[in-house]
Amino acid sequence: MEKESEIVLKIADIFFSYVSNAESKWEEAYLRFHGGIDSTGVTSTYQRDGAAYYIDADDEYEFEAMSEVSDLFVSLQDCFSFKVSLLVIRPNQEFKIRYEQELTERWAISKLDGASGIPVLYESEQWW
């Protein structure tokens, strides 16, 4: 369990730095990882003034940070099985992370077709 905790802390630290570098006035940020046999991916947004925004960061920094985060999540999957994970962080460095073993669409983040950019069903679940 110690190894898993170290990986999660590293993911949270990288994501916190990434969001803080990109946006100074964020209130909450979301990082969704999905990983399977064929592919992995990360999606992230932040909330400010009741609306969610995709993070507009320097492309090279974004690539490096999100590549490292994705690799760390894959390492975490080597420790225990999950298909989707959602990390939620706040500016005071408070964070929560959850895992889903079955539903690959869980906590989807999108702004397409009028979606909010906040993870689906996140607001209806008890997190804090």
CATH number at residue 31: 3.30.500.20
Q: Is the pLDDT of residue 67 over 80?
A: yes
Residues 37, 83: Cα–Cα separation, whole Å: 10
Q: How confident is the model at residue 36 (pLDDT cuts 50, 70, 90)?
A: confident
Establish if 26 belongs to a structural domain: yes
Establish if 113 belongs to a structural domain: no
Establish if 122 belongs to a structural domain: no
Establish if 62 belongs to a structural domain: yes
Return phi, psi of residue 46, to 5°: -135, 160
Q: What is the pLDDT of residue 128?
A: 58
Q: Please, which residues have CB within 8 angstroms of residue 124's CB and are 6 or more apart in sequence?
A: none
Q: What is the pLDDT of residue 46?
A: 96
Kind and range of the H or E run holding 5: helix 2-22
Q: What is the pLDDT of residue 108?
A: 95
Establish if 119 belongs to a structural domain: no
Return phi, psi of residue 103, to 5°: -85, 105
Q: What is the pLDDT of residue 125?
A: 73
Domain of 55, in residue numbers: 1-100
If you average pLDDT over residues 74-100, what whole number do you get? 96
Q: What is the pLDDT of residue 38?
A: 79
Provide the number of structural domains found in the chain: 1
Establish if 111 belongs to a structural domain: no
Transcribe 30-98 into DSSP letters. EEEEEE-SS-EEEEEEEEETTEEEE----HHHHHHHHHHHHHHHHHHHHHS--SEEEEEE-TTS-EEEE
% of residues, the chain, pLDDT over 90? 78
Establish if 8 belongs to a structural domain: yes
Establish if 121 belongs to a structural domain: no
